[in-house]
Amino acid sequence: MTESEVVPRELTQQRLNLGYRLIAGYRRDQAYSVADMLEERALDAGELPFGLFEGRSLSFAQLNEGANRIAHAALSLGLKAGDVVALLMDNYPEFPMVWLGLAKVGIVTALLNTSARDRILRHALVQTAARALVYGPECADRVASLSAGELPSMVLEFAPPKAESAGRIVPGSASLNAAMTAASAENPDRARRAHVRLGDPLYLIFTSGTTGLPKAALMSHLRFLNAGGVIAGLLDLKRGDVFYNVLPLYHGAGGMVVVSVALHLGIPIVLRRRFSASEFWNDVRTHQVTAWYYIGEICRYLLNQPPRPDDREHTLRRMSGAGLKAEVWREFQRRFGIERVCEGLGSTEANYGLTNVDNKIGSVGRLPYPERSNIRVVRYDMDSGAHPRGADGTLQICAAGEVGELIAEILDGPTAAGFFEGYTSAEATEAKILRGVFREGDRWMRSGDLVRHDADDYYYFVDRVGDTFRWKGENVSTDEVAAALARFPGPAVVNVYGVRVAGAEGRAGMVALTYPRAALFEPRAFHEFAAARLADYAVPLFVRISTDADLTTTFKLRKIDLQRAGYDPARITDSLYVRDARAGTYLPLTAASLAALNIGPFAGD
């Protein structure tokens, strides 16, 4: 479709319905599990590859046999149904083998961020009440950052074939490999998980932690199956397709959506330990990759690679994901010849889903018939951080073009629709819920996303609640400012946030630009670029030049530490600049330059 074309609502709904075919029969009380699906694939796709990784292949039959050995080994070690086992391991095909094996006997796995160490790792283990910890040898230093008393009573090292740092065993831990060698490769008796229903927890996934300590979200077997089933349908994937994954397997995108697609269809995952912009297209061509699950920032990295004559000579034609900015989307699709992009909006724990099936550039999805959805957008007051209520006491629905917070009604029907599984923390779960929104007793989950929709009910992401700030009486979206500034040539990452200025109301804009060398920043050129594309109040007042971006391991920008440091030279060793609008440039930030511009010191956060 052209960017100005409007797809009939009926056609959008038909396209969305394609995503529901594989999941239509699932119910929360159904006596079925992801372990059952694995055993089905071992029968009908046993010889087909599940994982292609660094020159080796793991078939579905081998995945199942390995999972069986883990299941029997876990039982022999004294673990039982209902226990939680934490998993700390890099991207290997054996990563899902661990939690699949534990699921075969009713054990729940907590998937830990591989960067977790010290207090973050301790926090994760406490939140999940893990009885055991399985770690890869490459993560031994993170495990060793805790004392023996801070670790579960059972610590097991698991080394996949050709694992780096094999043998770096944390003192006091045992070998899961040894227990597996002595265990059976046969499917365990299904009676071991006969009590498991689709609505029961499969594993725990931690949120990204962009605003504080990560929270452990409950992920059911049903949520796992729905995540991949919908994407497989929307992208029209089938056996013979090849899915590419560069995202961490402990996260909802790489570890849930991608693995679920593979298990549904019996198709292989081409897996990398981590994303490489220089090797991406080589992998696609070598393995005849046809589909990919992306994070928008990765697409920008790929666009920053020098153009090549063979940019369109590949098999990748379909991709789905989140966070793809309009300008990057438009150029990425044109340069690389991608046929279908399904951009979406959601979160690890979301009880709703928005997906753009019409290739409407910039939109995160459409609700062709909004009244049939559990999604609403309500007014949100930036100053008070509250949702205004009307004369009748209910929240106020946003009109087309108006920015508000997306909320989704919590439903208790038999399917996954609208069901909110929450977190291991009851307090964290309750903090996400709004009550009495439109009627007495109703419950709605706060997304934390500020969005707007147009007259055709296409939705557009604006910012995260708490990131948008007010300056000079105007609301400033950090996401929209970053999207405009990202076109400035040079910086690898653009991170926009608001900081408090002593003596001024609201927050002033600040941007952290990532360069390999600080001397590459051109203050006057950047000011000219920003002033030409942004309203005056949205042009950042301060600039910080960094050599490293503050990104999560899933390529999300962290702002909290940047906001806390503000523009205080006592806390920052990076180069700092302040805007001189009259001179049309940015000046090195010093006490003298702030005083000359009548700008107060950083007021703290």
Cα gap 158→178, rounded to integer Å = 9
- Residue 267 in any domain: the answer is yes
Within this chain, do residues 475 and 429 fall inside the same structural domain, yes or no?
no
pLDDT at 211 over 60: no
Within this chain, do residues 478 and 415 fall inside the same structural domain, yes or no?
no
- Residue 84 in any domain: the answer is yes
Predicted pLDDT of residue 388: 94
Within this chain, do residues 424 and 526 fall inside the same structural domain, yes or no?
no
Within this chain, do residues 501 and 574 fall inside the same structural domain, yes or no?
yes
Number of domains, the chain: 2
Average pLDDT of the segment spanning 270-285: 95
Please name the residue that has the structure tokens 């040898």: 137
Least confident of 164-178, 181-195, 506-520, 576-590: 164-178
Tell me the three state secondary structure of residue 569.
Answer: coil
Interior angle at CA 388, CA 385 and CA 389, nearest 5: 150
Quick one: tokens of 454? 């147009």
Q: What percent of the chain has pLDDT over 90?
A: 81
Cβ-contact 542, 508 below 8 angstroms: yes
Looking at per-residue pLDDT, the higher value among 209 and 505 belongs to: 505
Cα gap 191→194, rounded to integer Å = 5
Within this chain, do residues 394 and 487 fall inside the same structural domain, yes or no?
no
Q: How confident is the model at residue 61 (pLDDT cuts 50, 70, 90)?
A: very high
Quick one: tokens of 334? 């044109």
Cβ-contact 203, 109 below 8 angstroms: yes
Average pLDDT of the segment spanning 47-75: 98
Within this chain, do residues 269 and 380 fall inside the same structural domain, yes or no?
yes
pLDDT at 219 over 70: yes
Please name the residue that has the structure tokens 């106020």: 396
pLDDT at 309 over 80: yes
CATH code of the domain containing 530: 3.30.300.30
Pairing of β 404-409 and β 443-453: antiparallel
**Whole-number average pLDDT of the chain:** 93
- Residue 441 in any domain: the answer is no
pLDDT at 94 over 70: yes
pLDDT in tens, 571-592: 999 999 999 999 999 999 999 9
Within this chain, do residues 557 and 491 fall inside the same structural domain, yes or no?
yes
Predicted pLDDT of residue 506: 87
Predicted pLDDT of residue 124: 94
Predicted pLDDT of residue 272: 95
Within this chain, do residues 40 and 87 fall inside the same structural domain, yes or no?
yes
Least confident of 121-125, 166-170, 356-360, 421-425: 166-170
Predicted pLDDT of residue 514: 93
Least confident of 351-355, 593-597, 601-605: 601-605
Domain termination site, one of 413, 435, 457: 435
Q: How confident is the model at residue 196 (pLDDT cuts 50, 70, 90)?
A: very high
Picking from 114, 555, 529, the residue whose alpha carbon sits closest to that of residue 302 is: 555
Within this chain, do residues 475 and 329 fall inside the same structural domain, yes or no?
no
Predicted pLDDT of residue 5: 77
Within this chain, do residues 108 and 164 fall inside the same structural domain, yes or no?
yes
- Residue 601 in any domain: the answer is no
- Residue 101 in any domain: the answer is yes
List phi, psi (to 5°) of 104.
-65, -20
Within this chain, do residues 234 and 301 fall inside the same structural domain, yes or no?
yes
- Residue 1 in any domain: the answer is no
Average pLDDT of the segment spanning 361-378: 96
pTM value is: 0.86
Q: How confident is the model at residue 115 (pLDDT cuts 50, 70, 90)?
A: confident
Predicted pLDDT of residue 19: 92
For residue 545, the enclosing domain spans 469-596
Average pLDDT of the segment spanning 55-75: 98
Domain termination site, one of 435, 457, 481: 435
Q: Residues of 423-441 as b/e, b for ≥16 C-beta within 10 angstroms?
A: bbeeebbeebebeebeeee
Within this chain, do residues 491 and 543 fall inside the same structural domain, yes or no?
yes
pLDDT at 212 over 70: no
Domain termination site, one of 420, 435, 450: 435
CA quadruple 426, 429, 430, 435: dihedral positive or negative? Answer: negative
Predicted pLDDT of residue 2: 61
Contacts of 249 (CB under 8 A, 6+ apart): 89, 91, 92, 95, 96, 111, 255, 259, 271
Predicted pLDDT of residue 422: 93
Predicted pLDDT of residue 367: 97
Q: How confident is the model at residue 555 (pLDDT cuts 50, 70, 90)?
A: low
> How many other CB atoms are found less than 10 A from the CB of residue 42?
22
Least confident of 79-83, 307-311, 468-472, 568-572: 468-472
- Residue 138 in any domain: the answer is yes
- Residue 550 in any domain: the answer is yes
pLDDT at 71 over 70: yes
Alpha-carbon distances, residue 447 vs 346, 395, 420 (angstroms): 8, 15, 11
pLDDT at 200 over 70: yes
CATH code of the domain containing 354: 3.40.50.12780
pLDDT at 158 over 90: yes
Cβ-contact 263, 228 below 8 angstroms: yes
pLDDT in tens, 480-501: 999 899 989 999 889 999 999 9
Predicted pLDDT of residue 382: 81
Cβ-contact 158, 140 below 8 angstroms: no
